[in-house]
Amino acid sequence: MEFSRLVLLCLPAVWALAATAGAAADVPAARSPGCATRCGDIEVPYPFGLDTRCAIHAGFRLNCNKTTTVGGGGSVRLLYKNTEVTRISVQDGKAWFKTWISRQCYNETTNKTVYGNAWINFTSTPFVLSADDNKVIVLGCRSMAYMRSNSYIIGCMSICDAAPKNGSCSGDAGCCQADLPKGVQYYQGFFNSFYNTTRIWRETPCNYVTVMERAAFKFSTTYLTTRAFYDADDARTPVVMEWGITRQTCEQARINKTRPYACVSDHSDCVDGDAGYRCRCSEGFRGNPYIADGCAGSSLLVQGPLVFVHVL
């Protein structure tokens, strides 16, 4: 009885198996011995640190702020200067912050419009606002508001010609949004004073503008009729920041003799971004590229000629 088989021969063969993907969880989060790697529930991975000696340089130093209230309660917050940090991703080169909302409200007691123009300033820091992850959001039925930076004025007009609907931000129904330019480090929210709530304050007392993470925003009609948007998180919204080790390209960083090149792990790559250069683990590897041997993963390497033999 005839039959056929396909046999794969590897002559000679060398099989190299790296550490398993599960080992990536054991990669240390900081380079210097004794450095704290968490603030409350938030991981603080290198190149960030809670002490000058624990961060790659001063721009990556964070503070773990602990407060105690009467009765033994308290809270722990991770701060960059005075801004709260809620998450850090080494692989993506991003950090999540909480920034302030600007508002324009009519005060029926004084018969005047009151302004609260919020601003952030990350100049001379490793951070820029992520143009891919954030939007300029304007709320109101008679609002024209902007984000003004050193180089840009970005905003939109929000009116209520159409009935506002939950989940919709079209510009003519109480909400509008605008794309963010790349590389922004400073902005201030402000309003066109000719568009205000003086005549409609009973239905929509305030207008708002903020820069926030697009994935975290979903319009609600209550944002127009109440203070729900402003009060939800103490007048703050989440924003995504991109960060870079220095304001250099990868090519410049490799030849720079004044500051060590940061991508020190095997199986790591350098990435150019809006904030400068950063590092990430190569495809198939996970961990921390800023630490020696920090990128671990599974890799199967076969060397030698492959011979296919057809056997009858």
pLDDT (tens digit per residue) in 116-146: 999 999 999 999 999 999 999 999 999 999 9
Mean pLDDT of the chain: 86
Tell me the pLDDT band of 48, cut-offs 50, 70 and 90: very high
Q: Which residues pair with 304 in a beta bridge?
A: none
- Rounded to an integer, what distance in angstroms lies between the CA atom of residue 103 and that of residue 100? 10
Tell me the pLDDT band of 31, cut-offs 50, 70 and 90: low
Q: Residue 14 pLDDT > 90, yes or no?
A: no
- Rounded to an integer, what distance in angstroms lies between the CA atom of residue 230 and that of residue 234? 7
Phi, psi of 64, deg, nearest 5? -100, 105
Per-residue pLDDT, 299:
52
- Rounded to an integer, what distance in angstroms lies between the CA atom of residue 285 and that of residue 30? 18
More confident residue, 278 or 297: 278
Per-residue pLDDT, 150:
82
- Rounded to an integer, what distance in angstroms lies between the CA atom of residue 185 and that of residue 246? 14
Q: What angle do CA 35, 91, 260 make, to 5 degrees?
A: 60
Count of CB atoms situated within 10 Å of the CB of 238: 20
Per-residue pLDDT, 261:
95
Per-residue pLDDT, 21:
35
Q: Residue 1 pLDDT > 50, yes or no?
A: no
Span 188-207, mean pLDDT? Answer: 95
Peptide bond into 205 cis (omega under 30): no
The pTM of this model reads: 0.83
Span 88-115, mean pLDDT? Answer: 96
